[in-house]
Structure 1
Amino acid sequence: MEKQKMTWKREDLIDFLIKKGNGIKGLSELKLAKIPDDFIQPPHQRLSHTKVATQHSIPIIDVSNWDDPRVSQSICAAAADWGFFQIINHGIPIGVLQDVKNATHDFFNLPVAERSKYLKENSPTPSIVLKTSFSHSVDKVLEWKDSLLHFTGTHDDGSHLWPNLTRDRVLEYTKLARPVIGNLVSVLLSGINVQQKQTQSDLVGSVDVSLLCYPKCPNPDLASGATPHSDVSVLTLLLQDDVGGLYVRASQGEDQWIHVEPMEGALIVNVGDVLEIMSNGKYKSIEHRVFLVSGDVDRVSVPLFVIPPRDALIGPLPEALHIGEKPIYRQIVFSDYFNRAFSKPPNGKQTIDYVRV
């Protein structure tokens, strides 16, 4: 099939992507010769060999024995020094991990009429939403990404109304991930002298799963799957496929990025803004991005976001402050923090800078 040459006005593009529910997947299936201008990243945002920090890789931690003090020490050190690490031997079977990746492919391979049933205005439940890019209403440059978000924060989560292709596999993955999350939160809080079980339970208001699809792209060197950002979460667990493309900023203020190599069976863990704030900066929420999308295949990944209750007041925990140490962040209701983060395009750590004292 000959590739099509098309010129898109922004309003026509949004109508095709969002209102008609085609998303990036539908755009990819048009087999365009060139991506629309709204997806072209400015030159300084594109990947080049000079930006890749080849001498670094994020820590890999074997968590087969959570009671081993060395495991706890490694996790706390990685959260403080890197903000990112991979865990292996976490107890979630590889088959379950593969199933949830397959669920992502299966959903986004559905016809448009089936996918669009889960757009916000069509969805049978608020607990599942199909989105394109980050937020098309605020994005200056659109991200080459579709997502199907599954929210699990309510007792009546509406999961019986989720797509048949994703429901059981997402719920099984979430169920098996919860003990891993509990262990991670417990270890990290203990590392800043917080022992109360109530604090741990207060941090985990919901565990939300997003199925992300980065469809194959005619100009993968010009587009970006996700621009630099930190996560509005306590923790994020990320499952990626073998295509790769996730990059973590090597050090704050420098345009150097570490590629997180895919590893079968591993989960990537990163500190979210909430945990950085509550630890008074002892744990670091690090910028990351999906620099590359593929010109040959659809890339998928599955982030699992650990989110506090929306009415939770977040701020430095008293136990995290050494004697005489002053808070470097002010307190804020989580829903206010969340809404501010999603009211503008992703821009590094701009949201967390907003609550610095």
Structure 2
Amino acid sequence: MVVVAVRTKKTRAAGIPSVDLSLDRSMVSELIVQACQNYGFFKVINHGVPRVTISRLEDEGVRFFDRPARDVQRAEPAGSFGYGSRNIGLNGDKGELEYLLLPTDPFSIVETSKTISDEPRNFSGAANDYIEAVRELASEVLDLAAEGLRVHDKYFFSNLIKDDQNDSVLRFNHYPPLKTSEPCKDEEDADEVGFGEHSDPQILTVLRSNDVAGLQIALPDRLWIPVPPDPSQFYVIIGDTLRVLTNGRFTSVRHRAIANSSRVSRMSIMYFGAPPLNTTISPLPELVSPESPSLFKPFTWGDYKKAAYSSRLGDCRLDHFKASFNQ
């Protein structure tokens, strides 16, 4: 199955890979590798995540963002987790959105939920069930990718996000309708950006949104593909860390969200799968050879995370960690 994107002034029609997890395992593995190499992005169908698990968390997210401003701001963070609006990170990047960033540890979710919901048990139960389900989905995708790459330990990638000390997070992005009746004139206009161009620094992202458009991905030729929303399915976005682990075989796709010009709010939920902070990230030995030398110097996830979040959106953070060769 291929979803065809709509042509606009700065985008072009193109196919977005769709991977059916119910197909023969070897075929699925090959399709995932192809999608990761060519796009760094694909839709997953027949993913096995119960619809009720998805709808419960979406309902909780809608209830949170519908609360009065004074109640929403109770969830503003003392540290890195909690509620934020417009400012994306600490570097002056802005967008037309508000968001909620959560840890994925079950006990931390329970504590954080007390400032998020009037019924914190409902919120924490929905969040923990969702996190468990999408972590399993992410792990299955990573195992299939490892099989397709002929990695010796097919559980190597998935074990990084299953580790008890993993640094994974869950994020809600909420894009209210723009307060203007005029349509977007220029998708590059900073005032029309929902979330600016970037690649995700983690291993991979599992994204799900409601039925409102806005997400776009960039092809290698720098043209943008609008991604039609599909609230019943998930999209997988390859991150910088998996790009390094595969020695550049996989692409960490650059993507963005344009401001919401519809009359209905857009809400997306992302699971960012990340390894423990002290994990050393470098290309796997079986993906390095004299013909394909290592493209990246080793670094820890903690060091790269610090570099990623201290840079502006759109910066190529991996440049600092690329290996250099004497010509």
1:77-115 CA distance string (max 9 Å, x none): 101111100001101122322222222211011122221
Find the counterpart in structure 2 of residue 249 from structure 1. Answer: 218
**Deviation of the 1:145 alpha carbon:** 1.3
1:160–1:226 distance in 2 versus 1, CA, 3 Å: same
Distance, in Å, in 2 between the alignment partners of 1:136 and 1:185 is 28
2:208 match: secondary structure = strand
- 1:108 touches 1:213 (CA, 8 Å); kept in 2? yes
1:52–1:301 distance in 2 versus 1, CA, 3 Å: same
Find the counterpart in structure 1 of residue 125 from structure 2. Answer: 168
**Deviation of the 1:262 alpha carbon:** 1.3
Distance, in Å, in 1 between the alignment partners of 2:157 and 2:218 is 30
Specify the code of the residue in structure 2 equivalent to 1:152.
T
- 2:297 touches 2:322 (CA, 8 Å); kept in 1? yes
Runs of 4+ in 1 over 4 A off after TM superposition: none
Residue of structure 1 aligned with 2:10, choices 46, 51, 56: 51
Aligned residues: 299
Greater per-residue strand proportion: 2
Residue of structure 2 aligned with 1:157, choices 105, 108, 126: 108
1:301–1:264 distance in 2 versus 1, CA, 3 Å: closer
Find the counterpart in structure 1 of residue 172 from structure 2. Answer: 211
1:199–1:138 distance in 2 versus 1, CA, 3 Å: closer
1:49 match: secondary structure = coil
Find the counterpart in structure 1 of residue 91 from structure 2. Answer: 138
Residue of structure 2 aligned with 1:83, choices 40, 43, 59: 40
Find the counterpart in structure 1 of residue 192 from structure 2. Answer: 223
Specify the code of the residue in structure 1 equivalent to 2:57.
V
Matched, 1:266 2:238: no
Distance, in Å, in 1 between the alignment partners of 2:70 and 2:259 is 29
1:236–1:136 distance in 2 versus 1, CA, 3 Å: closer
- 2:102 touches 2:170 (CA, 8 Å); kept in 1? yes
**Deviation of the 1:340 alpha carbon:** 1.1
1:144–1:181 distance in 2 versus 1, CA, 3 Å: same
Distance, in Å, in 2 between the alignment partners of 1:156 and 1:100 is 17
Distance, in Å, in 2 between the alignment partners of 1:127 and 1:225 is 21
**Deviation of the 1:292 alpha carbon:** 3.3
> Structure 1, unaligned stretches of length 5 or more?
1-47
- 2:102 touches 2:109 (CA, 8 Å); kept in 1? no
Matched, 1:179 2:136: yes
1:143 match: secondary structure = strand
TM-score, scaled to structure 2 = 0.85
Find the counterpart in structure 2 of residue 333 from structure 1. Answer: 300
1:53–1:166 distance in 2 versus 1, CA, 3 Å: farther
Distance, in Å, in 2 between the alignment partners of 1:237 and 1:335 is 21
**Deviation of the 1:276 alpha carbon:** 0.2
**Deviation of the 1:156 alpha carbon:** 4.3
Specify the code of the residue in structure 2 equivalent to 1:246.
L
**Deviation of the 1:302 alpha carbon:** 0.4
Identity %: 24
Specify the code of the residue in structure 1 equivalent to 2:19.
I
- Between stretches 309-318 and 197-206, larger displacement belongs to 197-206
**Deviation of the 1:185 alpha carbon:** 1.1
**Deviation of the 1:273 alpha carbon:** 0.3
What is the aligned-residue RMSD (CA, Å)?
Answer: 2.1
Matched, 1:233 2:202: yes
**Deviation of the 1:71 alpha carbon:** 0.8
1:22-50 CA distance string (max 9 Å, x none): xxxxxxxxxxxxxxxxxxxxxxxxxx932
Specify the code of the residue in structure 1 equivalent to 2:100.
L
TM-score, scaled to structure 1 = 0.78
Residue of structure 1 aligned with 2:254, choices 287, 302, 317: 287
> Structure 2, unaligned stretches of length 5 or more?
1-6, 185-190
Find the counterpart in structure 1 of residue 4 from structure 2. Answer: none
